[in-house]
Amino acid sequence: MIAILLAGVQIPVADYQEIVIDRPLMAQDYPKHYTHYELRDKLLDVAMKQWSHYNVNEKKSLLNEMSKVTESEKLSSALLKLFKSESNELIQYQILSTLTYMKQSASSLNQLKEIAKDEKFSMGAFAVLARNLKADELKSYLKRSDAYIVTACLAENVNDPQVLINALSQAKEDYQKSLILRQLARISQDSAYAKCETDFHRSQFTAVSRSKSFLVKQAKTKKFANQALMRMKELGWNSDFNQVAKDILLSSSVEVQVSACALLAENKVNMPFLLSKLNTLPEVAGIVALDVFVNHSVPPALQKQFCQLKKNADGVNIKKLGVMEDQALVQGQKNTFQLIRQSQNSALVEAGLRYLGVMKTSVDKSFIAKQLKHRDMPRRHGAVFYLASSAKSTQLSGLVKYTQGSDMAIRKAFYDGAAHNPTVNFSKLITPGLKNRKDAKHNPQPSSEVRSYIIWAMTNSNHVHNQNLFELKKLLTEKLVKVPMSENVFDPSYVRENAYLCLAHWASKGSKEGKRMFSEVQEFVEWQKEEGLEYSESFDQVLDMTEALLQGKKINKKYFYTKALSIRLIDSPIR
């Protein structure tokens, strides 16, 4: 029974903030480190009814799993009912511990206030209250003992400096002093810094301070400049922070320079300053400084200087080339080819070939042929990307081999390049990859990741073939066949989401076949939902986005797909 209950708890969810912008949505965009949990009402009801029949170990196991569900007021209320009916004090303590990070209703908070009157469970109940009540509502509890003050500091919920100073003078354990000092820093009690006894305390105090003047002062010290700069970045850019980062940039350690560059890169006003210092900074700091150019367009006045690539600075050059590719900066073409011809760094050669391919720059055929035969994979990928992104319609027959091999990374590089070459009609090279079976020549079926790049290229293209629209519909509505180790399944959700958006894109462009295929897919999705098939939250967002897209509305920027797809593929012209 316990196993059944626990099996229904975990639901993976994408961390939308980590989606990158230079490719279609991939499986790895669903990081394993972030998981959302919920407990369905039916399972909770069963647990409540069976609670009295569980032994102590079973109750502990169930509470451990329930502690992961933090957004359910109903679960909190249910646990308080179990607390009242439970006779085992250890389990009661664990219930209160489980409630600590959970969302609480007003009714639950009132019950916890009553429990806090019981000396036995007072501290456990207070730990929950400290995270849910306002600081002023906790003052009566703080008078009980310093232990309550420390617990409230752990919840970052004490606003009376005198109470904290008094508790600090009585604290004996180092962790108690650290918690109290951190809380004093949070409420901007800069004078309390003098009470720090160790560099660890001073570092901790600096790392959580909200006082601008204090952080500016700390940034000028050698010991705590890095903590101060990182804290400034967390608090958000302002002119005082910006100036002190400029002042200390070239006279600090590498670690501090990296933090200063990270802060300066927050605002595009620093573009000229960072570019002027780029060649004097350590490479790792220079790479961080370039973030400002990744996030903002390089101004015309700075483009020539930006496109100058320096020898023996491969990390900086690779990042620059990525920006030059994304923003199609024309000044760097000659310099780039000269650099990659002499470079021994395969990653740099790949980045250079990608940029030259996007710019349609003519490159010596013998150089490309040499990269295609090179043993280093990045060089081969860059060469294939270059061929696809710079190809002309008359050259496609010679590129077919890159769409059929067993090396999926080569296929991906080809379709990535095709996505950057929208004027050429790649439809005939796209069709085989969309079919959910091997072709007549028994070429390997593309991987799901390759298939998503194929769909990406189809979305970007100025051309569309009706057969490809039909294959997209089949991909969404039919199960795969001949999939090794996993027969009779649909394509992964990220592939189907890209396919759904691609059909919506062509429907919005006025394609008659696109409208018909998209309409059939819409009906299929609606039917599956009526049948009770659960779709992921990300697919629900895709449905909302496609509806807005078809209505000609501007897509709300909160959608994570605006990072991954719409800005790059739909809203903006493709080079």
Q: Is residue 452 part of a domain?
A: no
Is the distance from CB of 422 to CB of 461 less than 8 angstroms? yes
Give the pLDDT of residue 250.
86
First to last CA, the chain: 58
Q: Is residue 57 part of a domain?
A: yes
Same domain, 127 and 223: no
Same domain, 182 and 231: no
Same domain, 506 and 567: yes
Give the pLDDT of residue 437.
58
pTM: 0.78
Q: Is residue 236 part of a domain?
A: yes
Same domain, 168 and 218: no
Give the pLDDT of residue 564.
38
Give the pLDDT of residue 494.
76
CA distance 407 to 378: 13
Structure tokens at 154: 């752990």
Low-confidence ranges of the chain (pLDDT < 70): 1-36, 436-443, 479-490, 532-538, 554-575
Looking at 268, 294, 320, the residue that finishes a domain is: 294
Same domain, 123 and 235: no
Same domain, 49 and 180: yes
Contacts of 223 by beta carbon, 8 Å cutoff, 6+ apart: 199, 202, 203
Is the distance from CB of 483 to CB of 489 less than 8 angstroms? yes
Q: What is the DSSP letter of 556?
A: P
If 0-12 CB within 10 Å is exposed, 13-18 middle and 19+ buried, where does residue 516 land?
Answer: middle
Q: Is residue 322 part of a domain?
A: no
Give the pLDDT of residue 486.
46
Same domain, 243 and 282: yes
Q: Is residue 443 part of a domain?
A: no
Q: How many domains does the chain have?
A: 3
CA distance 118 to 230: 43
Helices (H), 35-101: 41-50, 56-66, 73-85, 89-99
**Which CATH number covers residue 53?**
1.25.10
Q: Is residue 311 part of a domain?
A: no
The candidate with the shortest Cα–Cα distance to 500, out of 530, 436, 464, 544, is 544
CA distance 12 to 35: 5
Same domain, 143 and 243: no
Looking at 125, 160, 189, the residue that finishes a domain is: 189
Contacts of 396-405 spanning 24+ positions with Cβ under 8 A: 396/424, 396/426, 396/428, 396/429, 399/429, 400/429, 403/429, 403/432, 403/433, 404/432, 404/439, 404/441, 404/443, 405/443, 405/444
List the domain range (segments joined by +) for residue 498: 491-574
Residue recorded with tokens 């100073």: 165
Contacts of 531 by beta carbon, 8 Å cutoff, 6+ apart: none
Give the pLDDT of residue 558.
39
Q: What is the DSSP letter of 511?
A: -
CA distance 438 to 370: 31
Same domain, 155 and 279: no
Same domain, 182 and 48: yes
Looking at 189, 221, 239, the residue that finishes a domain is: 189
Q: Is residue 29 part of a domain?
A: no
Other CB atoms within a 10 A radius of the CB of residue 375 amount to 7
The candidate with the shortest Cα–Cα distance to 473, out of 483, 486, 458, is 458
Is the distance from CB of 435 to CB of 451 less than 8 angstroms? no
Q: Is residue 318 part of a domain?
A: no
Same domain, 178 and 51: yes
Same domain, 87 and 165: yes
